[in-house]
């Protein structure tokens, strides 16, 4: 356990909105955050104490980060596990979650195999390295199926349903380095923020997630499903923790579907449900932003507690909560991020607005979120959407792009 609190420093690879909210939550504990990110004046700074401007895989920069930190972590999967592992050994600094966990998460095929080996329910899957493998996958998994790049994808990028080899080639070109999954006929998408600390674990309430064009739009908590499904989702998330190493916060994305075992002709709510893992993020997750206002301990404070080995906080939900993302338009051209409409939504009862400090609008870029806390989830969802939709970005001239290494994470 970290005894030097207040006074500890966490070095984090990545300085996007997750790093920003992490630094905000760590500060009241007396914990400084130093971010490593290629974007000068990245969103995390301020409130992070300082920034090292460098690429995520810059080993010399990671060494500089380790020299200044009591523990290392990452808020983006583009971090280099080999650099983290090597530098941590040289400086006797722990990395949480471990570099091995990052390696597992960075490759969707490795991730699926690790989860399946641990008994975690996942969709049926096959490795794809060429047309013949994909044809075999259609035979075993059905048509259409979901084809995912093994590495580099996030927010649905690098994933697409395909019904033929020709369609897959049109979508992706070369077919080496993919994983094919059965196309899950799910009733709703869920997620659980799971946490491992020093000898203890915790899960946050189950969120129901609404996506459009593969990008998260809203999260509703508690998820509008049965208590038994919520219990099953929490149990699956706990099982995921057993398949991964190191302390930290993990976003566990899930599908709820009618169970293949439900063959008695039941309908509606009487049908048996099962929960499958879709993907995992070894860090705080967009669908956990509701915890800032909605829970006694946010996912970001919990992140600081976990990586430092401090006792975990209370994950109880204060009240039903809905979060809605503030996104750039789907066809937005790069331009300064100048948002209008915020004063008009701030008189909404129990509404919170979060701005991520990004300087540029890009197509479907996550630039902020609103959260509404209350009683009726359907009403909260309407109010969150209305508030979000009242915001708009000013038109303007295009501007030079930020460094390509800085990406938006869920």
Is 182 annotated to bind a ligand? Reply is: yes
Backbone phi and psi for residue 132, each to the nearest 5 degrees, phi listed first: -65, -40
pLDDT tens digit sequence for 5-43: 999 999 999 999 999 999 999 999 999 999 999 999 999
Shared domain check, 198 and 57: no
Confidence of residue 67 (pLDDT cuts 50, 70, 90): very high
Shared domain check, 132 and 208: no
Is 358 annotated to bind a ligand? Reply is: no
Question: Does pLDDT of 397 surpass 60?
Answer: no
> In the chain, what percentage of residues exceed pLDDT 90?
90
Which CATH number is 145's domain given?
A: 3.30.1490.20
Kindly tell me the sign of the dihedral angle through the C-alpha atoms of 44, 50, 55, 58: negative
Q: Is residue 336 part of a domain?
A: yes
The rounded distance, in Å, linking the Cα atoms of 249 and 151 is: 21
Residue ending a domain, among 136, 159, 182, is 182
The rounded distance, in Å, linking the Cα atoms of 95 and 72 is: 5
Is 166 annotated to bind a ligand? Reply is: no
Shared domain check, 149 and 203: no
Q: What pLDDT score was predicted for residue 267?
A: 53
Which CATH number is 38's domain given?
A: 3.40.50.20
Is 366 annotated to bind a ligand? Reply is: no
Confidence of residue 153 (pLDDT cuts 50, 70, 90): confident
Question: Does pLDDT of 200 surpass 80?
Answer: yes
For helices 17-26 and 299-307, the axis angle rounded to 10 degrees is 70
> In the chain, what percentage of residues exceed pLDDT 70?
93
The rounded distance, in Å, linking the Cα atoms of 333 and 400 is: 11
Q: 174 Cβ partners below 8 Å, 6+ apart?
A: none
Shared domain check, 291 and 144: no
Confidence of residue 270 (pLDDT cuts 50, 70, 90): low
For residue 118, the 8-state DSSP code is: T
Is 200 annotated to bind a ligand? Reply is: no
Cis ω for the linkage preceding 123 (within 30 of 0): no
Is 108 annotated to bind a ligand? Reply is: yes
Number of domains in the chain: 3
Shared domain check, 254 and 165: no
Distance of CA 265 to the CA centre of its chain: 37
The rounded distance, in Å, linking the Cα atoms of 128 and 133 is: 5
Q: Is residue 117 part of a domain?
A: no
Is 279 annotated to bind a ligand? Reply is: yes
Is the pLDDT higher at 61 or at 397?
61
Show the tokens assigned to 244.
């991964």
Distance of CA 388 to the CA centre of its chain: 20
The rounded distance, in Å, linking the Cα atoms of 146 and 123 is: 10
pLDDT tens digit sequence for 289-321: 999 999 999 999 999 999 999 999 999 999 999
pLDDT tens digit sequence for 206-264: 999 999 988 999 999 999 999 999 999 999 999 999 999 999 999 999 999 998 765 55
Q: What pLDDT score was predicted for residue 401?
A: 41
Domain of residue 157, residue span: 124-182
Segment among 39-48, 97-106, 150-159, 260-269 with least mean pLDDT: 260-269
Shared domain check, 166 and 229: no
Distance of CA 353 to the CA centre of its chain: 19
Show the tokens assigned to 127.
């490795």
pLDDT tens digit sequence for 130-141: 999 999 999 999
Q: Is residue 107 part of a domain?
A: no
Shared domain check, 371 and 224: yes
Backbone phi and psi for residue 355, each to the nearest 5 degrees, phi listed first: -110, 135
Is 278 annotated to bind a ligand? Reply is: yes
Is 333 annotated to bind a ligand? Reply is: no
When the pLDDT of each residue in the chain is averaged and rounded to a whole number, the result is 93
pLDDT tens digit sequence for 354-366: 999 999 999 999 9
The rounded distance, in Å, linking the Cα atoms of 75 and 94 is: 16
Is 322 annotated to bind a ligand? Reply is: no
Residue recorded with tokens 């005894």: 3
Cis ω for the linkage preceding 6 (within 30 of 0): yes
Average pLDDT over residues 192-203: 98
The rounded distance, in Å, linking the Cα atoms of 54 and 40 is: 9
Q: Give the containing element (helix H, strand E) for 238.
A: helix 227-243
Shared domain check, 286 and 256: yes
Shared domain check, 360 and 288: yes
Q: What pLDDT score was predicted for residue 400?
A: 38
Confidence of residue 274 (pLDDT cuts 50, 70, 90): very high
Q: What pLDDT score was predicted for residue 213?
A: 85
Do the Cβ atoms of 249 and 283 come closer than 8 Å? yes
């Amino acid at each position: 356990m970290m005894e030097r609190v207040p006074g500890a420093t966490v070095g984090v690879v990545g300085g996007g909105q997750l790093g920003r909210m992490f630094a905000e939550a760590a500060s009241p504990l007396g914990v400084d955050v130093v971010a490593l990110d290629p974007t000068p004046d990245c969103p995390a700074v301020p409130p992070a104490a300082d920034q090292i401007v460098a690429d995520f895989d810059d080993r010399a920069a990671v060494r500089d980060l380790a020299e200044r930190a009591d523990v290392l972590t990452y808020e983006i999967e583009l971090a280099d596990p080999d650099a983290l592992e090597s530098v941590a050994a040289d400086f006797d600094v722990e990395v949480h979650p471990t570099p091995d966990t990052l390696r597992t998460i960075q490759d969707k095929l490795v991730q699926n195999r690790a989860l399946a080996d641990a008994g975690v329910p996942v969709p049926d899957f096959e490795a794809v390295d060429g047309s013949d493998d994909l044809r075999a996958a259609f035979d075993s998994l059905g048509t259409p199926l979901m084809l995912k790049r093994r590495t580099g994808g996030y927010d649905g990028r690098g994933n697409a349903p395909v019904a033929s080899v020709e369609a897959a080639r049109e979508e992706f070109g070369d077919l080496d380095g993919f994983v094919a999954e059965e196309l899950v006929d799910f009733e709703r998408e869920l997620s659980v923020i799971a946490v491992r600390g020093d000898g203890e674990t915790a899960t946050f309430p189950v969120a129901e997630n609404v996506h459009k064009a593969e990008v998260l739009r809203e999260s509703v908590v508690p998820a509008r499903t049965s208590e038994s499904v919520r219990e099953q989702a929490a149990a699956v998330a706990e099982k995921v923790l057993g398949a991964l190493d190191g302390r930290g916060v993990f976003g566990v994305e899930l599908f709820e579907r009618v169970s293949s075992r439900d063959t008695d002709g039941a309908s509606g709510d009487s049908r048996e449900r099962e929960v499958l893992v879709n993907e995992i993020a070894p860090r705080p997750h967009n669908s956990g932003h509701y915890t800032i206002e909605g829970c006694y301990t946010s996912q970001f404070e919990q992140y600081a507690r976990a990586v430092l080995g401090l006792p975990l906080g209370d994950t109880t939900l204060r009240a039903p909560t809905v979060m809605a993302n503030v996104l750039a338009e789907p066809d937005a051209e790069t331009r300064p991020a100048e948002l209008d409409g915020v004063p008009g939504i701030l008189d909404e009862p129990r509404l919170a607005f979060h701005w991520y400090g990004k300087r540029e609008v890009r197509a479907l870029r996550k630039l902020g979120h609103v959260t509404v806390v209350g009683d009726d989830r359907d009403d909260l969802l309407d109010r969150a959407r209305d508030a979000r939709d009242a915001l708009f970005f000013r038109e303007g001239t295009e501007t030079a792009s930020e460094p390509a290494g800085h990406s938006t994470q869920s």
